[in-house]
Amino acid sequence: MSIRRSFVLTAGAAVLSLSGLVPGTAIAAPITATTVCVSDAQAAEFKDLVTQARGIWNGAEKNVQLSNCSGGIKVIAKDKLPGGSYYTGDGHGHGTVYLDRSQIAQVYGLRLVTHEIGHGLGLGDTYDGPCSDLMSGGRNSEGAACRNAQPSAAERAEVDQRWANGYGAPQQRDSFTAVYAG
Ligand SMILES: [Zn+2]
């Protein structure tokens, strides 16, 4: 009996130790990443950009991974949109990204697509930030010359935190629409 009791205490101590190392993920942290569908079925000539953007996010995150499937975020190419490219949805794995062809021709397209998918993962805009921040979008310190398509360390961490419980509570963001300001 004393052996079993000793084992239980040891296991408990190990769990506490892990929790202390990873603040904010101690409650119901998933063993495997949550898959979010990002479909390029309607992305037309931007399919390759969507594939690359999924790859960037998959390399950046542990708790969420993106796949080309339906039921999540749709990426749809449009000729021209009044306010430019934008995302609309719940900011938690569902919604639609509209890509404005006339706008993409003027900016670094991969940054724009990765940015819009970032909204679908829960990130908001941080206009007027540095080029090194993906979510500063088109209104960053270098403008259209910015060719960074990678999320910053802080942005990566925020996404992983928002997906620490998968689709479970708490939902991180109300429904919103975010335009890629140029
Ligand atoms: Zn945006």
What's the gap in Å between 178 CA and the centre of ligand 1? 5
CB 38 within 8 A of CB 54: yes
Catalytic, 61? Answer no
Percent of all residues in the chain with a pLDDT value above 70, rounded to a whole number: 76
Q: pTM, whole model, 2 decimals?
A: 0.80
Over residues 40-58, the mean pLDDT reads 98
Q: What is the DSSP string of 74-128?
A: EEEEES--TT-SEEEE-SSS-EEEEEEHHHHTTS-HHHHHHHHHHHHTT----TT
Which residue among the candidates 61, 116, 155, 158 is catalytic per the annotation?
Answer: 116
What's the gap in Å between 126 CA and the centre of ligand 1? 8
Over residues 11-34, the mean pLDDT reads 55
Model confidence at 182: pLDDT above 60: no
Model confidence at 150: pLDDT above 60: yes
Q: Does domain 35-165 have CATH number 3.30.565.10?
A: no
Over residues 53-66, the mean pLDDT reads 98
Rounded CA-CA distance 63/60 in Å is 10
Please report, as a single letter, which amino acid is at residue 60.
Answer: A
Higher pLDDT residue, 111 or 27? 111
What's the gap in Å between 138 CA and the centre of ligand 1? 8
CB 150 within 8 A of CB 134: yes
- pLDDT score, position 51: 98
- pLDDT score, position 1: 40
